[in-house]
Amino acid sequence: MQRKPLSMRKKILFSLPAFLGCIVVCEAMLRVFDVYYHPLNIEIHGIETDWRLAHSFEFDCFVYDPNLIWRPKKNFNVFNAQGFRGEELSEPKQPNEYRIFTIGDSNTLGWRVDDKNRGSNWPANLFELLPKPTDPTIVTTKPVKRYSVTNAGIWGYSSYQGLQQLKEIVAYKPDLVTISFGSNDAMLVTIPDTQFTSTLFESIIGRTRIGQLMIQLYDNIEAGAQDVDDGVLVHRVSPDEYRANLCEMARICKENGIECVLLTRPFIGDCEDHINPELWWKWFAPQYVDATIEAGREADVMVIDVNSHFKDRPDLFADESHFTEQGNRLAAKFIYEQIKPLLPD
């Protein structure tokens, strides 16, 4: 008796378990051998300018996050179990506790502990300057506040990410928040931060190793490392969006009874020695300094012009936009003197 050939539908149904099994095995093997997406480099005339995918998928101290693009691994590198730098905060907040959060990018987070600047960061230096309950020089009839400084800076963050981060930080009930962004916002890329989080990497495909491998193969077939035409470039966060982000952060702070202090982002030098000066972030940096001051005026919050205070002190910078160990100490002292009137003691 001749067998009736299987229909196409039945063939597919019979093959599906084997196909899904192969997918699971391949995904497991890719994870065992730690194969993941190595992002397509965005280059402008040979200069790499977009590090967001590298931060999200390659840097060992970060994990991809669909809201923040990347966030720190907890209890890893300089980050504690709460994802910040410094001592962990107690829960709930104590009645006599005064919490300061410093939100910003790499110049706020500071150096790794194994670099030449020995892990220095100005928020840690700021804590050293704050009054301590045991300080015999303080004369007061009421208990001295117990200050804490939580360093919430993240390498590579823009004001877009800082705004999303602040919405989470509010739960820790800070009393004062300093905000310092601008350098990463000014970077030229092909997709702004507001659209970046809605890309393929937010999908299930983008989160699997097989999906990432497919994306990488597509990248390699299409172009390899792109040499992007200047006309299609945008800022990660435009100056207008940057100012709006700072104003919204100030509004959130006021709504929650938090003192908000904006810091202009410090940098030194010009772009003349760069291969593409008009495409480098420092070419646009003055616009973001001005936008910070405008946002402070618009939101009616304190602005500390760190950039103007340090712009003629190249000896205090390890590179074009990051303080040395001494620079961090002097920055902390300068910021402390400005915020003193806001402190309860």
pLDDT at res. 39:
46
- Residue 313 sits at φ, ψ, to 5 deg, of -125, 65
pLDDT at res. 184:
94
Q: Which two tokens stand for residue 1?
A: 């008796």
pLDDT at res. 5:
62
Q: Could you give the CA distance from residue 104 to residue 300 in angstroms, rounded to a whole number? A: 20
State if pTM tops 0.95.
no
Q: What is the pLDDT of residues 23-67, one digit of tens each?
A: 888 888 877 876 655 544 444 444 555 778 778 777 889 988 888
Q: Which two tokens stand for residue 62?
A: 């970060």
Q: What is the pLDDT of residues 217-245, one digit of tens each?
A: 665 554 444 454 555 788 999 999 999 99
CA distances from 332 to 130, 149, 248 (A): 10, 12, 25
Per DSSP, 66 falls in state: T
pLDDT at res. 199:
58
The tens-digit pLDDT sequence of the chain (345 residues) is 555 565 667 667 767 787 888 888 888 887 787 665 554 444 444 455 577 877 877 788 998 888 898 999 999 999 999 999 999 999 899 989 999 999 999 999 999 888 777 889 999 999 999 998 776 566 565 667 899 999 999 999 999 999 999 999 999 999 999 999 999 999 988 888 998 765 555 556 666 777 767 766 665 554 444 454 555 788 999 999 999 999 999 999 999 999 999 999 999 987 766 666 777 888 999 999 999 999 999 999 999 999 999 999 999 999 999 999 999 999 999 999 999 999 997
Residue 293's nearest CA partner among 213, 204, 189, 179 is: 179
CATH topology assigned to domain 33-342: Rossmann fold (3.40.50)
Sheet with 302-304, edge to edge strand ranges: 146-151, 97-104, 176-180, 259-263, 302-304
* C-beta atoms surrounding 27 within 10 Å: 15
Q: What's the mean pLDDT when you consider all of the chain?
A: 85
pLDDT at res. 224:
44
